[in-house]
Every structure is written in C-alpha cells, then in structure tokens.
Structure 1
Amino acid sequence: MQGFNRTTVVTQFVLVGFSSLGDLQLLLFIIFLLLYLNILVANATIMVVIRSSRSLHTPMYGFLFILSFSESCYTFVIIPQLLAHLLSATKTISFVACATQLFFFLGFACTNCFLIAVMGYDRYVAICHPLRYTLIMNKRLGLGLVSLSGVTGFFIALVATNLICDMPFCGPNRVNHYFCDMAPVIKLACTDTHVKELALFIVNTILKIPSAEGKRKAFATCASHLTVVFVHYGCASIIYLRPKSKSASDKDQLVAVTYTVVTPLLNPLVYSLRNQEVKAALKRVLGMPLATKMS
C-alpha cells in the first residue's frame, strides 16, 4: 500500500471483538475452531476431488475449484487472528497489519463476489443455451473470467484500502469489531469522512448491483444458489451499503460472522456436496462402491 497519511499518530489498533463476553470467549474459540476446520476440510476435499476426477474437468467445476481456494484464503485472513485474540488478553494489531488484513479481506471478498457472478453466468448459459454451451464456455473464456475476477477484486480492494489509509488517525484506537473491516476503522478517523465514505459506498454499490442482477437471471432455476447469494450479499449489504460510519454497532459483528464464517462453510455444501456428480467422484476417490440403478 502506498504511504499512509503522515498525520496518522495511531501505530496500533485494539480489536474489541468479543471481549465483553468474558469467560464465554473460550467457548467461542472452540466453536470457531471447529467451524474453521470444517471449512478447510470441506474446501480441500472439493479441490482434491475436482483435481482427481477427469469427469469434473469442466468450466463449472473449474470455477468451483477456484472458489473453494479463494474461500479458504478469505477465511485464513480473518479466523486465525480471531482465534488467537479469543485466547489472548492483548488484542492489538499494528496499523500496517490492520491495513494488510483489510486489503486481503476486501480482495478475496470481492473476488468471491465476482466468481459467484461468473458461476451464475455459467449456469445461465448451460440452462438457456445448452447446445452452444461448450462453444461459449470454452477454456479461454473460463480462464479470462477467473483472471478478471481476481484482478478486478484486488483492484477494488487496493482503491478502498488506500482511501481508508489516507485518512488521519490521531485519536481513539479501539476498533469495535473482531477484524479490521471498513466501517469500524473509518469511524476512528479524526476527520470528516463523509466524502470518502460516499466513495466507498459507491464502490460497494457498483460491485453489487450488476452482479446481483446477473445472478437473479442466472440462478432463476437454482434455489440452492439463490440461498447462498441471498445470505452472502444480504448480510454484507447490511454492513456496507450504509454511508454512515456511526451506524456500526455490536450487532454488526454477529452479521459479519455470517459472511466471514457461515457462508464459507455453506458454499461447499450448497455448490458441490449436494451435487450427484461430485458425490460420485468423491466415492471413487475414497474407493467406495457406487450405487447402481436397477433396470
């Protein structure tokens, strides 16, 4: 990230997180640890199955492979630090580390949003143009869409992070969240943040409006996809589509858990493990007998 604002005197932040829960933090640690392990195992399983089964070497499952990898990186940016802070009395994070976490969180989050949109387009083509599917969704287009998702996602993250880091932070340093998210960090800036909040609001709105419309059409016949889209975008919109930093509250942390922990856990189940082809491929990888239909 390009140099931070020189008027910034805050060298570290305190992530308040779930400090108010006292002894319950140990229980939360166990719960989040189990959820995190499930996320890693589920996504790793999907990647191994797709990589090992030639029958799954199609654009749709290629997108699933990339999404699973991106989701794993996305949770790695947030959950390990959350687990460490749940067991630690000191919950500090340096200014640079906070900015880095914010950048990678936004980068992978935006990339995941675009990947979900790409998967929606893939299903749209498969449903509405089945005879031309292999011609339209060729390897070159698939790689291009994945690359565009990553580059665009991290470019948006770079712009948003630079806007935030350019603000002066010279007062309170207690972030009312369990990781460095945009709204609670902006709230600590000791300047008028309305203009930059409006810019960030516009970035998030531009990101969500076209992709939401694309997914509405593409997932019209896929209830499971709509479920993930609703949970992911609905909960994230509650946090981000509000150009008022004072609106951040303790309830936001509960909403944030949905799109930082629950959604990455649901995605493997909804997109892959409920799919008969993936289940059959998983049985082949594990050496389990496949069920045969009676004639």
Structure 2
Amino acid sequence: MSAYRGRFAPTPSGPLHLGSLVAALASFLDARRARGRWGLRIEDVDPPRCPPGAADAILRQLEAFGLHWDGPVAWQSERHDAYAAALARLEALGLAYPCSCSRRQWRDHPVYPGWCRDGVREPDKPRAWRLRSDLGLRPVRWEDRLFGPQAFDPAELGDVVLRRKDGLWAYQLAVVVDDADQGINEVVRGADLLDNTPWQRQLQHALSLPAPRYLHLPLILGDDGQKLSKQNLAPALPDTEPEARPLLHRALALLDQAPPAALAGAPVDEQLAWAIDHWAPSRLRPALARGEDA
C-alpha cells in the first residue's frame, strides 16, 4: 500500500443513487489507481435523517458494484468524544461560541451576521455552537485537482454551525475530525461541497490538523435539470451484481473515462479492473453540472 488514504462517506438518509455512485466510483478508482487505501465512513450523526436499514442498504449497494472498502466501516455516531474535544479546543482558542439565534431571525441577511459573537443574545433559549470565521485562517487558498486554484474568505460565508441546538454534531466539524483521525489525505467528492472546503480548511488550521488534497467532481443532473439527490427522489441503485453492470458502465461514462461499449454488460469486477488501469482524472470536464445522459 502507498501513502494514499481516501474514503467514501455517505449519509444514510436513504439508498445510494446514480450521483452517489459517481462520487463513490471516482474516489474508489483514484485510491486503487494509486495503490492506496479506500475506507468507508457512515456519516450518521443526524439520527432523525437516518431511517433504520438505510446504512445496511448502502453497504449492499456498494458490494453489488464491486466497491469493496479496506478495513472496518467507521461510524460517526460512535465519535461523540472526539467531536466534543475538538469543540472544547476551539472554544479555548476563542474560535467557537454559543449562539441562540434562529434562522428566522436573520432571514433578511445573506449569511448569519454574528450577533452572538460577543455574548449570547437570548441566554434562556437553546444554543448552537458556531465557528468564528472572521478570526481564523483568511483567506483560504488551495489547489483543487479539477477546478484549479481556489480562494475564499470564510467570513463572507458566515459563521458555520459546529453543534446544533438539539445537541447533534454538524457536518463541518465531524468531517474534519474524522478525516484527520483516519489519516485521510485525498478527498474526492462532488462539486456541491466545494464551498464547504473553506470552513474545513479553517478548522484544520485552527486544530493543527493536516489538510488533504481535494478533487471535486462535476455534478450529475437529472432530466429536470436538478442535481440527482435523495431529496429530489433520485432512483435508488440496485443491490444485485447483474443489475449493477449497466449502471457501472454509465457511471464510468459520466466520469468521462470512455469505457468500451463491449464492457457494458461485463461483470463489475471486469469493468473495475479496466477502469483502474485507465483511470485518468485529467479527462474530467470541469463543468459544475451536466446532463445525466451526457
């Protein structure tokens, strides 16, 4: 194994769909081409969004497509202590603060205006915890492997929530802590998370954690022009190998890898062997979105 450590980290709010497959496949191929490790992390920190059986369905779908992960599955629901320690450190650094404000209160502002930065406005109300985006690393710069040089000022994006008012952990803090603890140094994911990266880089810097490289993938649109997602009721992937074959070939085509037509009905292991040998991120077209059948 090389030093490459990648991962796929779905939220078990429902079964995987074609857009999920494209992201999982790209991260898998990138890791396997580099002779690296590819882990699976189930991001289940939001139980109300995670119906029973959804995580098991995701595991069956990945196995049907031949996307076998290395090592045990990681579960965010088991990581409370790690997230709490990170939040305590951010608070000690003056970079995290409690906030009683509701979205309704600041709905006329493009981003949360930081009203509780110098003290909770309504101490008798439930509190979330937010990141002081104006005090950390600014601007945030990195080189995306597809979209090239990136530069954001996190303060223009607002003070992101780290822990919700109901006590549940928010995505930005959890993903940063988990990637660092799991040694992830290569992240391949959809372009809809491109503007999440500034907050994550800011958190990595504040917590003295290493920053992975990023490859953000073009999004896949449905026939209605919307991003394929569970919220938009994208059709679920099959969980049997024969049904997976044509969809795997389609996903390779959506990743601009130009798989031979003769592979369309081949077993998934045969398709993946070809795809690993020929994986070339340089073929990806850096468009934010394109049609499902492109």
Question: Shorter-chain TM-score: what band?
Answer: under 0.3
- Greater relative contact order structure (CA < 8 Å, 6+ sep): 1
Identify, as 1 or 2, the structure richer in helix: 1
* TM score, norm. by length of structure 2: 0.27
Identify, as 1 or 2, the structure richer in strand: 2
